[in-house]
A and B are shown apart, each in its own frame.
Chain A
Amino acid sequence: MPIIVNLDSMLEKRNMKSNELAERIGITTANLSILKTGKAKAVRFSTLEAICRELECQPGDILEFEDET
């Protein structure tokens, strides 16, 4: 998929663990793992909003478009 999720690097920068973020934004660690590994088919605006609020970043810091062609 040409959309890359840079959640790992953002978590590292903020020195935060995955399960901690999952708990703060109210989703399961399994779902956060789906998002981190790029297996997710869609992201709810509410989830994106919560992630941005907790990590103090913009959606563009987490999501990146890379053309595969």
Chain B
Amino acid sequence: MKQPILLKTILDICFILLAFSFLGAVIFFTLTLTQGESFFPITVNGNVLTEFTPITIILVSAELIIGGLILYTVFILRKLVRNFLKGKLFTRFQIATLNMVGQLIILITIAQGIIDFLGKILIDSTAGSNLGVKFSFGSFWFILAIGLFFIYLSKIFKNAKDLKEENELTV
């Protein structure tokens, strides 16, 4: 299987799994809020929530919003890869989408960091942040770098688009 098709397939699987998880999380959270009891263990920072105070509701809602943003990021990445597969490169859509994906990754990473920090303060009652570099690709700084890389890639694509236009308008 060629790499772009494999990438498209992986993103499709990711999107479907994320969409189901997100929908499930929204439904369970709404049911929990309306019924007053938890049908499913809801965790924030690894702590299972047993009571729902306004702070925990805000934190879980924020986590759900981030989940929605992650779903949207994967959705536009899928659209981008499908667009690449059409064969036309360096289009305005690709430049805008790469930039958007980069911005969303940065926004999600920073928001997640803030929520984790607030969760530690408000739920664990301990102040601390997890900004150290871990031996994994899931570290805060690495994901931030990936976001910046996407923005840089969009700038490279814009440059390539200008060069392509210049080449096409050379008689």
A: residues with CB less than 8 A from B are 27, 31-32, 34-35, 39-44, 47
Contacts and interface: CB of A to CB of B under 8 A. Distances in A.
B51 interface: no
A31 B165 CA distance: 13
Contacts of A40: 169-171
Interface in B115-171: 165-166, 169-171
Contacts, number: 23
Interface residues of B, number: 5
DSSP class of B's interface residues: helix, strand, loop or mixed? mixed
Contact of A32 (B165, B166, B170, B171): B171
A27 B170 CA distance: 11
Contact of B166 (A31, A35, A41, A47): A41
Contacts of B166: 41-42
Contacts of A27: 171
Contacts of A42: 166, 169-171
A41 B165 CA distance: 9
A44 B170 contact: yes
A34 B165 CA distance: 13
